[in-house]
A and B are shown apart, each in its own frame.
Chain A
Amino acid sequence: MSAAIPPLVAAYLRDILVQAASPMVLTFGPGFALRGAAGDSTRIGVEPGAAAEALRELFTGMPLDEATVLPFVELPGGRHVHVHLLPDGALFHLLLLDASGEVAKARPVQQRAHDAEIAGHEKSRALRRLKQARAELEAQRRALLEANTLKDALIATLSHEFRSPLTAVFGHVHLLEKGGESAEGRALALRSIRRAATHLLALSDNLLAWARDAAGAGVPPEAVPIDAARILAEVRDLFGGAAEDLGITFEARAEVTGEPPLGDPLRLRQMLINLVGNALRHAAARRIEARITANHGAVEISVGDDGKGIAADAQARIFEPFNLGAARGVRGTGLGLAIVRRMAREMGGEASVESAPGQGATFRVVLPRQVAPDPAAPPPPRPQRGGRALLADDDPAQRTLLRMLLQELGYAVYEVGNANDAVTYAAAHAPDLAVIDARMPGLSGNTAVYRLRSQGFSGRIVAVAGDPTPVAREAALAAGADAVCPRPVDSIAFADAVLGG
């Protein structure tokens, strides 16, 4: 097989191949001047002059004195060729071989593969979104359910807790109205009424505290000098009579070492009232002792009894509001202990119980040293207000409203009517705040937010969105907004979004 193909066969073969390839050859001289054209221009669909023009462009920047192959070049008519450059002394030839057959075969394969991969990507994105939306819905549902359960428990507790003292009041009032009671009997009835009223008062204080906090309107704890003995005297006034009637020894003691501690007297009093009231009503004790111990500013409140005690498994639950699931009449079915714990935590402390069945119980609230606000010091760092704000909204009415709200918050406002101007202004002036309408014609608000962030804008960004669905919120936050404020704009929600409250 090593013998050369006979020249005649080789020439024949060459003719066949050349015919099959139907090549087009363009020969160029220096300066890419067309010197000649040979072969089949119909097959390639471009006449030599136009082809030469396209090829000059194609070879921009490329060396013309090196053999080169550029496969699959799409010509202006849309047809593909393989381009071969063959240097030939001072000349060079460009050989164009039709590639449309190969492209016709390769393209569908490539197209399918790419389409499939892109579709797969889109699908996984859609699935991720769906999952996220589902999880959000589920969380909302659970929160609603919980709120509903709490509401039911609240109503049940209230009707129970308010009813028994009220029944007592009516009973004793009825006795007094009938007359004929001895002086001692009348005094007893009056004491019972006072006891019931005290309980009702504590109950309504608790409810108010709870509701205020649920509404986010809680007042931060004070830090003023505490007169521990006086607080205990008040508690004794409230509960002394009741304890006596029930045959319970009630002792109250204050031990203060060092300076009088700082704290919130109203909260301390309410915690003590809740703890003592609880012990009186539920502990079946013979003796109750309330104590305030202060040691160089740190405060411990304790209320101990020698009653029936609390089982270990119940101890964790009694600090829960309404102690859901616990039997009626058991300690901590209401809000009292929940409020004690919450107040303790507000002041950086903790509430706990130590008990065993039959061994009595001791409730403790441990509070760290509170620090008084220094009157000479600058006011506590309020959320930073004011500064320069950029406001982008295409709707003039909406813009006016937002501008007024921003001015109320102390901002100097620069207004633009579209997203592009917002990006340009922010790049040049770096405002402290940017408020961007999420839906603007042309460049969308989220696009502007994205651009601001990708330019390195580090101020706060508030997106105002007409449809703050979870997905829309997510999109604004992902683009780089710090907060999303729903439309129509509510001044409080807007201030929160602007100030980061």
Chain B
Amino acid sequence: MSEVARKICLLGDFGVGKTSLVARFVRNTFSDKYLTTVGVKVDSREVATAAGPRKLVVWDIAGKNALDSVSQAYIRGASGLLLVADGTREATLRSALYLQVQARTTLGEVPAVLLVNKLDRVDDWEVKPATIAELRKTLPVFETSARTGDHVEAAFAELAGRLPA
């Protein structure tokens, strides 16, 4: 038996960069071209945590601003959530937080980390720094860039560290 595997899901509105974050995390690649995800794609990568190595099974779920019954079926068995928003579109931040609430129906309370993505375009950001400072009081928040890789590793590691042993 190899390392312990844990399922985590990326939830967020369309186009926020979920697929790009997974590509950066798993393959260290990035593409500017937007190819929308249909259904779900599952990838995996091993990470080291304080409790030993973990295999993260990462579910990249098609972007939605609400969880339908199919998405509820997708997230079953997940031990943690990566909530993803796009800093250049404030509305996607609300979607991410709403998705977290909806996921409770299926998962109950599981560890979650919020990624506000596209930090390389900070000059176009609608999300205010004060908003993020406020959100940090309730959950870990990372400003990330899938394009530059900035804080992507840190965000995944944070969630991995919070997963139940």
Contacts and interface: CB of A to CB of B under 8 A. Distances in A.
Contacts of B36: 107, 110-111, 114
B15 A72 contact: no
Given A74-B41, A443-B150, A61 B6 contact: yes
Contact of B15 (A70, A114, A442, A480): A114
Contact of B77 (A63, A74, A455): A63
A58 B38 CA distance: 16
Interface in B62-111: 62-63, 70, 73-74, 76-79, 88-89
A62 B76 contact: yes
A315 interface: no
B130 interface: yes
A70 B129 contact: no
A319 interface: no
21 contacts: A57-B5, A57-B57, A60-B5, A63-B77, A70-B73, A71-B70, A73-B40, A73-B41, A74-B38, A74-B39, A110-B36, A111-B36, A118-B34, A121-B89, A443-B150, A446-B123, A447-B143, A453-B129, A454-B130, A456-B136, A478-B125
Interface residues of B, number: 43
B18 interface: no
Given A70-B74, A446-B123, A447-B122, A115 B34 contact: yes
A217 interface: no
B133 interface: yes
A462 to B, nearest CB: 16
Interface of A: 54, 57-63, 68-74, 80, 99, 103, 106-107, 110-111, 114-115, 117-118, 121, 125, 442-444, 446-447, 450-456, 475, 478-480
A403 B120 CA distance: 28
A114 B14 contact: yes
A241 B125 CA distance: 71
Given A454-B129, A479-B129, A61 B39 contact: no
A103 B38 contact: yes
A69 B73 contact: yes
Given A61-B7, A443-B150, A450-B125, A72 B39 contact: yes
Nearest to A118: B15
Q: In the complex, which of the residues A60, A63, A479 has the most CB atoms of chain B within 10 Å of its own CB atom?
A: A60
Contact of A450 (B41, B78, B89, B122): B122
Contacts of A73: 39-42
B35 interface: yes
Q: Which of B14, B63, B70 has the most CB of A within 10 A?
A: B14
Contacts of B23: none
B82 to A, nearest CB: 15
A103 B5 CA distance: 29
Contacts of A450: 119, 122, 125, 129, 143
B124 A71 contact: no
A114 B15 CA distance: 7
Given A59-B77, A60-B57, A72-B70, 20 more contacts: A58-B42, A61-B76, A70-B73, A74-B41, A106-B38, A110-B38, A114-B14, A114-B34, A118-B15, A118-B34, A446-B122, A447-B143, A450-B143, A452-B129, A453-B133, A454-B130, A454-B133, A478-B125, A479-B122, A480-B129
B132 interface: yes
B49 interface: no
Contacts of B136: 454-456
Contacts of A60: 5-7, 57, 77
Contacts of B7: 60-62
Contacts of B76: 61-63, 68
A243 B162 CA distance: 91
Contacts of B119: 447, 450
Interface in B111-127: 119-120, 122-125
A451 B40 contact: no
Contacts of A72: 38-40, 62, 70
